[in-house]
Amino acid sequence: MLYLALALGGALGAITRYLLYQSTAYWETTFPYPTLMINLAGCLVLGFFFTLTLDYLILHPALRTGFGTGFVGAFTTFSTFSVENLRLLQQGELTLSLLYVLASLLGGLLCAGIGIHSARWLARRRLRG
């Protein structure tokens, strides 16, 4: 069950990322906005999901792994982030590369924090009423 959930989640996450990349293919920009948006969304979703399912909801471990590691893991991409940064540096885009690193790191932490706090807020609200 665990491996099936992981494989299914991974396949769906990879397909979702691919479709989002395709929907932004017409953007003519040097800055890698699609990867940044995907990775920030992944941080928000993972922060929300793990907080909700580890602290407040009972969820089968296979489902948690299938969504967290499978879907979100395949949806987000550290390797693309790394390659895009190296390409920016090779093109002499030091400022854009630095901006990308900072936006990814600080934005990722902020989005994960928003996800965590949103899950806690939702859980408290549901428990009260």
| 108-119 residue pLDDT tens | 999 999 999 999
Question: For the residues 92-115, what does the mean pLDDT come to?
Answer: 98
Q: How far apart are CA 66 and CA 85, in angstroms?
A: 29
pLDDT at 40 > cutoff 80: yes
Give phi and psi for 11, each to the nearest 5.
Answer: -65, -45
pLDDT of residue 129: 66
- What is the mean pLDDT of the segment spanning 30-41? 96
Q: What is the mean pLDDT of residues 102-108?
A: 98
How high does pLDDT run on average in the chain?
Answer: 96
What would the pLDDT profile of 22-33 be if each residue is shown by its tens digit?
999 889 999 999
Structure confidence at residue 22 (pLDDT): 94
Q: Which helix (H) or strand (E) holds 40?
A: helix 33-51
Query: Where along the chain do its domains lie?
Result: 1-127
Q: Looking at residue 126, what is its pLDDT?
A: 86
Taking residue 43's Cβ as centre, other Cβ atoms within 10 Å add up to 22
